[in-house]
Amino acid sequence: MPDTDPILEAVAALEAAGVEVKPVGEELDRWKIGDFELSDAELWRLAASRGLVEE
């Protein structure tokens, strides 16, 4: 089974939960949710805090 990028897994989980997540720039290391801009780590912590991904 191919390895999946954990950040893209978190994005997919948040989107499946109804959260609109948009990439910022071309590097895919910043994400926009509403008025907030999050780093990869912050996005992961958000998804984990809601039980959408395993820590």
- In sequence order, the 6+-apart residues with CB closer than 8 A to the CB of 15 are 21
Question: Residue ranges of the domains in the chain?
Answer: 6-50
Query: pLDDT per residue over 2-54, tens digit each?
Result: 578 899 999 999 999 999 999 998 888 899 999 999 999 999 999 999 999 98
pLDDT given for residue 2 in this prediction: 59
pLDDT given for residue 1 in this prediction: 47
Bridge pairing between strands 22-23 and 30-33: antiparallel
The token duo for 35 is 């008025």
Q: pTM of the full predicted structure?
A: 0.87
For residue 11, give the 3-state DSSP assignment: helix
- Please name the residue that has the structure tokens 């939960």: 17
pLDDT given for residue 27 in this prediction: 85
